[in-house]
Amino acid sequence: MKSPEISQALRKLVGILDEAKIPYMIIGGYALTAYGRIRTTQDVDLAIAASFPDIVRTHDLLRRNGYQLPSAPHREAAFFLAIDLENRIEFEIWTEPDGVVFDDELLKRRVRIRPFVDDFEAYVIGPEDFIVNKLARKSREVGDEQDAASVLKLQEGKLDYDYLMQRAKQANVIGLLQTIMQML
């Protein structure tokens, strides 16, 4: 059983970003399944590596492809919403995800997954960056900490711990990370 709307909507969005050469990665609940526990999620979060002119270009591109964009591009906004009206799916498109530094290393560590268990492949954030993103969220909730904990547990021994510590330090979440690791 799978949701055809989400599948179609994600394929369409990834196709548009690929064509526009905007590097992207899935974050949030859809990325969590690749590394940790399984939990439900109603929206789809994507992060894009884009300068402000590229963000404006992405906005225009999405609008021309029939997406509803409730807000105009803004330099200080961490994300914008894009609603796929045809499939009735809301995307949160993050341009500055919490704790995530867009650099070549981050992009290199993205992983290709098959979220709908068919031939469609898309990039998800790497597991170390996923953990840091969750712990660095400004509106961090218990669920975010549990998401990070589940990835630490399931990926135990497979993570690049030096990289994880380095990114956690940059994002000011090293204390939180160590506390969770001690509890596991």
Partner 1 sequence: MRSLVRVTSEKNGVGRPRRVVRTTPLGKQFVEQFDQLSDIHLQGNENDIKKAAKQAEEVRRLVELGVDPYVRFQEVNEIARNISSTTQIGRHP
Phi, psi angles (nearest 5°) of residue 20: -85, 0
Closer residue to partner 1 in complex, CB, 19/159: 159
Tell which positions 17-46 bind partner 1, by CB under 8 A: 33-34, 36-42
Per the document, the length of the chain is 184
Q: For the CB of residue 155, give the shortest distance to partner 1 in the complex, in Å.
A: 9
Please state, in angstroms and rounded to a whole number, the distance separating the CA atoms of residues 126 and 31: 9
Contact call for residues 11 and 120 (beta carbons, < 8 A) = yes
Closest CA to 47 of 68, 63, 26, 18: 26
**Site for partner 1 contains 63 (CB under 8 A):** no
The residue behind tokens 């999405």 is 62
Tell which positions 98-157 bind partner 1, by CB under 8 A: 113-117, 138, 140-142, 144-147, 149-151, 153-154
Query: Which residues of the shown chain bind partner 1 in the complex (CB under 8 A)?
Result: 1-3, 6, 33-34, 36-42, 72, 76, 113-117, 138, 140-142, 144-147, 149-151, 153-154, 172-176, 179-180, 183-184
